[in-house]
Amino acid sequence: MVADNISIILPTYNGAHYICQQIDSILSQTIGDFELLISDDASSDQTCEILDDYASKDPRIKIKKQGRNLGFKRNFEFLLQESTGRYIALADQDDIWMPNHIEFLLKNIGSSLCACGNAELVDKHGRSMGKTMKDDAGIEFVPSDMESQFHHLLYNNFVQGCTALISRKLVDLALPIPNNVRFHDYWLASVATLFSPIVYVDEILVQYRQHTMNVIGSEGTLLSRMLKRGKPEMQLICESLLARYSPRLTDQQLKQLKVAIRHFESRYGFGPGLFCAFNTYRRYETIYWSRSNKLKVPRILKALVGF
């Protein structure tokens, strides 16, 4: 592989506390021929000074500085547009990559639009929390065929952006990210499964840090999430997929999207809507997603209250 084939994109915002560990882990990859594109989103701490110091010592690093705060989604999108590689790896500012992160994903992606792996949860000090992202989400299996994966993603996302490698073709297909979609990795994964299977490998590729300064983290208390009204993220993604890609979808994909939209529309309802949500969830979400009976009750409750 040559550098023109691999871009690593890293958005930053007030990341001075952890950014050195992440950059060091990227620069120490077993495959070292890449470009590392970093876009700082108008940080107010020492992030930019740290980035400038790294860039002065390593020609693989290219720094962009935003004049105003774009938000994490638009900052990622900016970097996707700026990247030149045939393959693009997504990185977060506070994680730590395993040394074989890029090498492993490159060996597995093949002709797929996206390859991804698992992540170990660590605390703010980088100490293992004894579980992985897959464990935390209650994911017991990930299907390998495109149709089943597409169905999977309509209800639960198994693609963690910080473990993903995507192809240039997926960037061309997925951009621009719709304004009403919040999570770039969920959108990229959903578009990918319209056109090819995602390669999922159950390998720890990242130490995913949990701390109070996470840019993407908890959105309030359990009660606030239960009382929250409005469309859930996946309904917005389904509606955007339907609007943008309808002419390219199969009849089965169109049907699945429409069923999923009806399901999400009824999740916050009461009376007939509540029973509709329960029946759809029982048929399409809980049983399909989990082979374990112990996970069915919490997943049904999660669907009905919408958190």
162-210 tens-digit pLDDT: 999 999 999 999 999 999 999 999 999 999 999 999 999 999 999 999 8
* Percent of the chain scoring above 70 in pLDDT: 79
Average pLDDT over residues 276-283: 50
Please count the other Cβ atoms lying within 10 Å of the Cβ belonging to residue 43: 21
Specify the pLDDT at position 307: 39
- Is the per-residue pLDDT at 277 higher than 70? no
Q: pTM surpassing 0.85?
A: no
Which of residues 277 and 163 earns the better pLDDT score? 163
What are the phi and psi torsion angles at 5 (to 5°)? -95, -15
Structure token digits, residue 58? 């390593």
Specify the pLDDT at position 2: 47
- Is the per-residue pLDDT at 282 higher than 60? no
DSSP 169-237: HHHHHHPSPPTT---HHHHHHHHHHHHS--EEEEEEEEEEE--TT-SS---S-HHHHHH--S--HHHHH
* Measured distance CA(192)–CA(113) in Å, rounded: 6
Specify the pLDDT at position 304: 52
- Is the per-residue pLDDT at 142 higher than 50? yes
Position 136 confidence tier, pLDDT thresholds 50, 70, 90: confident
Average pLDDT over residues 56-77: 96
Q: Are 260 and 285 spatial neighbours (Cβ–Cβ below 8 Å)? A: no
Specify the pLDDT at position 151: 83
Specify the pLDDT at position 140: 74
Specify the pLDDT at position 171: 97
Specify the pLDDT at position 288: 42
Which of residues 143 and 102 earns the better pLDDT score? 102
Q: What is the pLDDT of residues 215-263, one digit of tens each?
A: 554 344 434 444 444 578 888 999 999 999 999 999 999 998 998 888 8
Specify the pLDDT at position 273: 46
Fold of 3-209: Spore Coat Polysaccharide Biosynthesis Protein SpsA; Chain A (3.90.550)
DSSP the chain: --GGGEEEEEEESS-TTTHHHHHHHHHT-SS---EEEEEE---SSSHHHHHHHHHHH-TTEEEEE-SS---HHHHHHHHHHH---SEEEE--TT-EE-TTHHHHHHHHHTT-SEEEEEEEEE-TTS-EEEEEHHHHTT------SHHHHHHHHTT-----GGG-EEEHHHHHHHPSPPTT---HHHHHHHHHHHHS--EEEEEEEEEEE--TT-SS---S-HHHHHH--S--HHHHHHHHHHHHHGGGS-HHHHHHHHHHHHHHHHTT--THHHHHHHHHIIIIIIHHH-S-GGGHHHHHHHHHHT-
Specify the pLDDT at position 270: 42
Specify the pLDDT at position 215: 52
Q: What is the pLDDT of residues 7-50, one digit of tens each?
A: 999 999 999 999 999 999 999 999 999 999 999 999 999 999 99
On average, the pLDDT of the chain sits at 84
Average pLDDT over residues 267-292: 48
* Measured distance CA(118)–CA(103) in Å, rounded: 15
Strands 128-132 and 114-122: antiparallel
* Segments making up each domain of the chain, as ranges: 3-209, 222-305
